[in-house]
Structure 1
Amino acid sequence: MNKIRIHQSRSHRKASERYKDVTFYYEDGTVWEGSIPIEYRRTGTNLYEEKEIQEYLKKAYDYCQPSKRQEWLAEQEKFWASKRKEETWQLFEQLKTFKWTCVSCVYNNPNWARRNQDLKEMGYTIATDTNRFCEQCGKRRTFLILVPLPRGGLSGYEIWSQALREKIVKVLGSYDAYEGKRVKSESLLPDHKFPEIRWNLETKRNSIEHLTDEEIRRDFQLLSNQRNLQKREVCRSCYQTNIRGYPFGIKFYSQGNEQWSEEIPKTGKEAEQGCLGCGWYDLEAWRQAVNQKLKEFSE
């Protein structure tokens, strides 16, 4: 019998998430029915190629094994030790069955969506079904399922708290690097200039909660969710083709050209050198370089 059965692909457009609805069959007879996100921006997951998806599902299958769930829960107990009175923890407590859970039935709080978002910001992987029939309610409701993957996901994405996110937005002055202007902070996401697709195990920092203002300005820029996803696709294409992208249809590089240098590794911290000069890597620095060139031409 196939250990992994894929039922369908599904999207949650409001959250910009895509899933594979699956059933995992384990040797001890346990069956787990759920959804594995294949696009999940908070962990840097964005898969399209079938081979990549299959490999990702195999990894998820292993992490979801019944024998590993108690160890996973023990780790979370330590994480929540000082946060047990928080409303977000209360939602987590309802979800740690790893089963589809009707929010209306188990969490009597009108702000459940905010609490769900908080859990995601903490690095938890949670799939959503907005139109699932609830036997108890007798209605179609929003269901959530907690997937026991490592916090931060399988991609090695750095986890940040809401407090750190707010600090990054404040330090960067609510400045939308793509639009080149200050906007409402609620519409902005901190974006790693160095794309996660080029990270390896040595690239991820164990903690980024104590970043200095200088480190924040060096490593991050602010983008809307739409532009963050757009940049991710551009960086993904660059990784696959070795052809660097460019924003606004302007093929200009302040360093190098459109070809990824063969002398620079494709992954790891040294790979960041290959990103320098690309508009998507640092939109504001690239904009200033373009304006400088225009000034030189006009003089």
Structure 2
Amino acid sequence: MSVELLNGIKIVENDRKLNTKASEEYVHVEFTYENPKTVLDYWIPVEYRRTGVSIKPDDEEQLYSYLNNVYAQLDPANYDNWLKKQDEYWASSRSDVTKPIFDTLKDGKWHCRNCDINNPNFARRIQDLKEMGYTIATHINYCCPVCQQKRSTRLLLLPIDRVEIAGNGYETWSPALRKRIIKVLGGIDVYEGTLSAHLLPDHKFSEIRWDENTKAENPDDMTDDEIRAKFQLLTNQRNQQKREVCRNCFQTGKRGTIYGISYFYEGDEDWDKSIPVKGKEAEKGCVGCPWYDIQKWKEHLMKLIKKK
């Protein structure tokens, strides 16, 4: 192996730390710096979809190269310059509700959600920060010695460069295209089969399985057929439910069900191990799952019922 860890880096544990709620993985490290002597105890995200970081457990060379890069950025000598850049960024930002959360986390230290973050919608605010390109480690089921909460959450924002190119991994669309998607799809809630004025365009292919080469543009002149192939309409509640189902599938290899009906028009409940778990090719593994294309799943199910 050609890449070696810098002298100031120590991997504390071989097993990765997991955040199952966000499908994130971290490596527990100690970073030691001289002049003055400083030891930082950090979890460094190595599976972190929003900034495009995805390092396989057996890719030691990529891991070492990434840790060396992060180690250099986290040198306390760089902090003041990093903070100045963030001040400039926030001066042009309109996200006033998220700024107090950033102000709490910007010191690059671990913070208990119960002790330090007084916000009833803190999960949404943390998501906002991630979507801005910040790298945040999340320790769930944390036993806090201060507030005595045994199942708290603590958070660590790494004072490293925001990732603006990879962004949050999500595609966006213009207001005009959003209206057109809803019109083309008839304003019908595909889950309930009813008309609704409160629907969201949902990507059939779940974002959790995207990689840096999967994200694509959604031009206003997309054809109707392209829209039908790529999107379906769901309420926000069902959209969130689908995200949880897809997250569980990504973590366990077990595909989801709707209405508790274990029917798949292609494949079965197990993810096809011959198909990659991420990237454009991964979409093939979603085909047949009821959540991937709810309308098509219903149609196949109705054909099966009529045959009987």
With structure 2 as the length reference, what TM-score do the two structures score?
0.56
Identity over aligned pairs, percent: 25
Alpha-carbon shift at residue 112 of structure 1 (Å): 3.9
Alpha-carbon shift at residue 287 of structure 1 (Å): 0.8
Q: Structure 1 residue 232 and structure 2 residue 232: aligned?
A: no
Q: Structure 1 residue 51 and structure 2 residue 58: aligned?
A: yes
Correspondence for 1:61: 67
* 1:281–1:59 Cα change, 3 Å: farther
Describe the SS at the equivalent of 1:158. Answer: coil
The match for 1:203 among 210, 214, 220 is: 214
Q: Contact 1:96 / 1:146 at 8 angstroms: preserved in 2? A: yes
For 1:54-109, what per-residue CA distance to the aligned partner results, in whole angstroms no more than 9, with x for missing partners?
56754652442343766866765565343266020121122122221345665555
* 1:210–1:289 Cα change, 3 Å: same
Q: Structure 1 residue 133 and structure 2 residue 145: aligned?
A: yes
* 1:101–1:194 Cα change, 3 Å: closer
Q: Structure 1 residue 32 and structure 2 residue 50: aligned?
A: no
Q: Structure 1 residue 3 and structure 2 residue 9: aligned?
A: yes
The match for 2:126 among 113, 116, 139 is: 116
The within-5 A match list for 1:85-164 is: 86-102=96-112, 107=117, 109-129=119-139, 130-134=142-146, 142-147=153-158, 148=160, 150-151=162-163, 158-159=169-170
Q: Contact 1:43 / 1:157 at 8 angstroms: preserved in 2? A: yes
- Looking at secondary structure, tell me which structure has more helix per residue: 1
The match for 2:28 among 19, 22, 39 is: 22
Alpha-carbon shift at residue 143 of structure 1 (Å): 3.3
Alpha-carbon shift at residue 284 of structure 1 (Å): 1.5
Q: Contact 1:122 / 1:160 at 8 angstroms: preserved in 2? A: no
Amino acid at match of 1:32: L
* 1:250–1:149 Cα change, 3 Å: farther
Q: Contact 2:204 / 2:292 at 8 angstroms: preserved in 1? A: no
* 1:30–1:259 Cα change, 3 Å: same
Describe the SS at the equivalent of 2:244. Answer: helix
* 1:282–1:114 Cα change, 3 Å: closer
* 1:91–1:180 Cα change, 3 Å: same
Alpha-carbon shift at residue 219 of structure 1 (Å): 3.3
- Give 5+ residue unaligned stretches, structure 2: 1-6, 233-238
* 1:290–1:80 Cα change, 3 Å: same
For 1:175-219, what per-residue CA distance to the aligned partner results, in whole angstroms no more than 9, with x for missing partners?
575x88899x9xx995551665464x44334x7798989677643
Describe the SS at the equivalent of 1:87. Answer: coil
Correspondence for 1:193: 205
Amino acid at match of 2:144: R
* 1:77–1:84 Cα change, 3 Å: farther
Amino acid at match of 1:278: G
Q: Find the aligned partners of 2:19 and 2:122 in 1 and give their Cα distance.
A: 17
Q: Find the aligned partners of 2:227 and 2:85 in 1 and give their Cα distance.
A: 28
Describe the SS at the equivalent of 2:98. Answer: helix
With structure 1 as the length reference, what TM-score do the two structures score?
0.57
Supply the RMSD in Å over aligned alpha carbons: 5.5
* 1:266–1:86 Cα change, 3 Å: closer
Describe the SS at the equivalent of 1:64. Answer: helix
Q: Find the aligned partners of 1:152 and 1:89 in 2 and give their Cα distance.
A: 18
